[in-house]
C-alpha cells in the first residue's frame, strides 16, 4: 500500500544555483549536501519544502521543456509575493493556461534546467466541485 510521496528528485546542472532557486522561491531548507562524495549517481543535496523531501542531483539539464510539472499549493493572499520572488531571480515565467476563477490562480515558471513549476491557489476539492457544477 502506498503511504504517501517519499521524495522528488531533479537532475540539475548547477547544485549551487538550484539551491539558491529552491531557497529563494520556495523557502526550502537545505538538510544535506554530499559535498564531493557520491553515494548515489552524482553529487546531491536534499531540501525540505514544508516537510516534502526534494533531492537535486548533478547532471545534464533537460533538453526540452514540457508541461510536465510540479505544483505547490499557496495561499491566494501570498500570490503576488510569489510572483515577486520568481521575478527577482529573472526566472522564465510562463503565461498560465486559460482557466475559470473557480479553479484557482497559478504561476508557472521554469528553473534553470527546464523543469516546470506551478504555484497554485486552488485545491483538488475546489476543482472537482467546479467541474461537477459545470458539467
pLDDT tens digit string along 35-45? Answer: 888 888 899 99
Which residues contact residue 129 at a Cβ distance below 8 angstroms, ignoring those fewer than 6 apart?
A: 102
Tens of pLDDT, residue by residue over 78-108, are 999 999 999 999 998 988 776 777 778 899 9
Assess whether 29 carries a catalytic annotation.
Answer: no
Question: Which tens digits make up the pLDDT trace of 5-32?
Answer: 999 999 999 999 999 999 999 999 999 9
Q: Do residue 80 and residue 48 come from a single domain?
A: no
Q: Can you read off the three cell numbers belonging to residue 37?
A: 562524495
Task: Please give the residue range of the domain that contains residue 121.
Answer: 62-135
What digits encode the pLDDT tens for the residues 113-134?
999 999 999 888 888 888 888 7
Q: How far apart are CA 4 and CA 122, in angstroms?
A: 20
55 and 90 fall within a common domain? no
Q: Which of 3, 29, 44, 125 is catalytic?
A: 44
DSSP tag of 49: E
* Domain of residue 111, CATH code: 3.10.180.10
User: Distance between CA 88 and CA 79 in Å, rounded?
Assistant: 14
Asked whether residue 68 falls in the same domain as residue 24, the answer is no
Confidence tier at 135 by pLDDT (50, 70, 90): low
- Report pTM: 0.88
Residues of the chain with pLDDT > 90, as a percent, come to 71
Domain total in the chain: 2
Place of cell 490562480: 105
Amino acid at each position: 500500500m502506498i503511504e504517501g510521496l517519499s521524495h522528488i528528485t531533479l537532475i540539475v546542472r548547477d547544485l549551487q544555483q538550484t539551491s539558491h532557486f529552491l531557497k529563494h522561491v520556495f523557502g526550502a531548507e537545505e538538510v544535506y549536501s554530499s559535498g564531493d562524495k557520491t553515494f548515489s549517481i552524482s553529487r546531491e543535496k536534499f531540501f525540505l519544502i514544508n516537510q516534502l523531501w526534494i533531492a537535486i542531483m548533478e547532471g545534464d539539464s533537460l533538453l526540452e521543456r514540457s508541461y510536465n510539472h510540479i505544483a505547490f499549493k499557496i495561499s491566494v493572499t501570498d500570490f503576488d509575493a510569489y510572483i515577486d520572488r520568481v521575478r527577482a531571480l529573472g526566472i522564465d515565467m510562463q503565461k498560465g493556461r486559460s482557466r475559470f476563477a473557480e479553479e484557482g490562480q497559478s504561476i508557472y515558471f521554469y528553473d534553470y534546467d527546464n523543469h516546470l513549476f506551478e504555484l497554485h491557489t486552488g485545491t483538488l476539492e475546489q476543482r472537482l466541485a467546479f467541474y461537477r457544477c459545470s458539467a
